[in-house]
Amino acid sequence: MEPFGIRIAVMNRFVSIKNRNDILRKMASGELDVLIGTHAILNKKLQCHKLGLLVVDEEQRFGVAQKEKWKSWSEGIDILTLSATPIPRTLHMSLTGVRDMVTITQAPSNRHAIQTYVTEYDDNLVRNAIMREKERSGQVYFVYNRIDTIEAMAHHLKQILPEDISIVIAHGRMDGKQLENIMMDFYAGKFDVLLCTTLVENGLDQPNANTMLVYDADRMGLSQIYQMRGRVGRSEKIARAYFFYRKGKILNEVAEKRLETIREFTELGSGFKIAMRDLEIRGAGNLLGAAQHGNIANIGFMTYCNMLHDAIHELKAERDNIPIPKKLPNTTLEFRQDAYIDSAYIQNEEQKLEIYHRLAIATTEEELSELLDEIIDRFGNPTIAVTKLFSSAKVRIQARNLGIGSIIDEGESYLITWADIDFIKGWNPLHLPVHYLEMIHILPGSPSRVRIDKVKMKTDFLTWMQDLFYQINKQRTH
């Protein structure tokens, strides 16, 4: 870029203090146009003369406190963050419209999916994997994330491997220059195995290293595991990744889900799907606070989206001095229905998620109708499961507009509970048609709770509920 007059500098842990201070001075005075750096650029002394664009690669590697530093720079400028596996908090901010998102799913040409194995640790398997890579003149990453005992692991590997296999150790406590020399030697092919900590996930690009072995993979995060797997398979060779847990160890539920996810999603460009699964496992986190994961599963994705949607509307109304209408409840539906978007209808996970999200935040039947017309135009006539999904969403909207807090399947009956009795003023159950009266029972001492006899129901539950809501609304408007 220098021939075009663009002045560029690099700042990382390998830059000397003298050079770093010189870079800081040039940034403050406007003598530099582009600064490329690691976490080192978050230095409190960094002052930008006229910052116009901030590009953040590997966004998931930064904590919330560090992101707050960006905000102090970012007023009035554009920010582009890149990540193969965004953390749940960031992903959810994009899905709910707080941030714009673009996905790139096209893999580089001549790349192959990485063969992925999740299994108990076994010396024979480790030896065979390393020897197989050695036979094709390749190199191996062995990730062992315990610095205190990494020397002992190196000794163990030398015992189970032939003498001609060379091993070098790398970890974050090493002197910067020493670590840089080790990495350069490995890149030059002077060693067969790089025994290292998780620092390997930080952007190493060695096309000749196409076998990855990870010890104690169950102790690592899903994003970490995916990033490490991405260190291999960066050439035309078929790469292999082995994720080990200790022999006889009983995995907890979360660790099991993480490892199952990495085993399931092996195709190229699967980072978005893995991030979505991480969102399901960990929750969305606190959009405004420091928590990068949360408890979205406790209330359900649709309910959470509705709560967020209502909160945003209230804040906008308050800002624009618009009267806030009576708050509608966040209706919960708990009944058994095969209502979902099946893969026979839509295969793309991202498109499915987009539709689920739009269903979750829809507040009117008109919005549902427009969405249904759109997906019919894009994907054809819906399957039975998709039709039921839209019917469920319609029942939820109608119930919410009537002030209903929940509809719960209790086995032989359905229990309807009103969150606010004011919504049904003017409704007299005795004025309903006879076939409704045979099935509806108002619970004694609780006019806001109604039980519906499932046995006597002659039509589909969703259809029956829509008819009931029509009758209630008919009475309320007269």
316-355 residue pLDDT tens: 777 777 766 666 777 888 877 788 888 888 887 778 878 8
pLDDT at 273: 67
- Beta-carbon contacts of 412 under 8 Å, excluding residues fewer than 6 positions away, are 453, 454, 455
Higher pLDDT, 383 or 302: 383
Looking at every residue in the chain, the average pLDDT score rounds to 80
Res 451 pLDDT > 70 = yes
- End-to-end Cα separation, the chain, in angstroms: 74
Q: Which two tokens stand for residue 132?
A: 């197989």
Q: Whole-structure pTM over 0.75, yes or no?
A: no
Question: With left for phi above 0 and alpha for psi between -120 and 50, is residue 403 left, alpha or beta?
Answer: left
Q: Which two tokens stand for residue 9?
A: 């500098």
Cα–Cα dist 133/209, whole Å: 8
Q: Which two tokens stand for residue 359?
A: 């269903």
Cα–Cα dist 204/31, whole Å: 30
Cα–Cα dist 22/28, whole Å: 10
Helices (H), 84-202: 88-95, 123-135, 150-160, 176-187
Higher pLDDT, 97 or 252: 252
Q: Are 198 and 145 in contact (CB under 8 A)?
A: yes
pLDDT at 435: 77
Among 185-199, 254-268, 422-436, the range of highest mean pLDDT: 185-199
Phi, psi of 98 (to 5 degrees): -70, -35
Nearest C-alpha neighbor of 212 from the set 121, 315, 130: 130
Q: Are 457 and 464 in contact (CB under 8 A)?
A: yes
Cα–Cα dist 294/160, whole Å: 43
User: What pLDDT, in 10s, does the model give residues 46-68?
Assistant: 777 777 777 877 776 676 667 66
Cα–Cα dist 142/192, whole Å: 10
- Beta-carbon contacts of 157 under 8 Å, excluding residues fewer than 6 positions away, are 126, 142, 167, 193, 195
Q: Are 294 and 301 in contact (CB under 8 A)?
A: no
Q: Are 87 and 223 in contact (CB under 8 A)?
A: yes
Cα–Cα dist 414/53, whole Å: 56
Q: Per mean pLDDT, which range of 129-143, 398-412, 420-434 is the poorest? A: 420-434
pLDDT-derived band at 298 (thresholds 50, 70, 90) equals low
Q: Which two tokens stand for residue 41?
A: 């650029």
Long-range contacts of 358-361, Cβ-Cβ distance < 8 Å, separation of 24 or more: 359/302, 359/389, 359/390, 359/393, 360/301, 360/302, 360/305, 360/306, 361/305, 361/306, 361/309
Partners of 115 in the β-ladder:
240
Cα–Cα dist 384/22, whole Å: 66
Among 174-183, 184-193, 399-408, 453-462, the range of highest mean pLDDT: 184-193
DSSP secondary structure letters along 222-240: HHHHHHHHTTS--SSS--E
Res 83 pLDDT > 60 = yes
- Beta-carbon contacts of 429 under 8 Å, excluding residues fewer than 6 positions away, are 437, 440, 442, 450
What are the structural domains, with CATH classification, of the chain?
2-95 (3.40.50.300), 115-268 (3.40.50.300), 326-476 (3.90.1150.50)
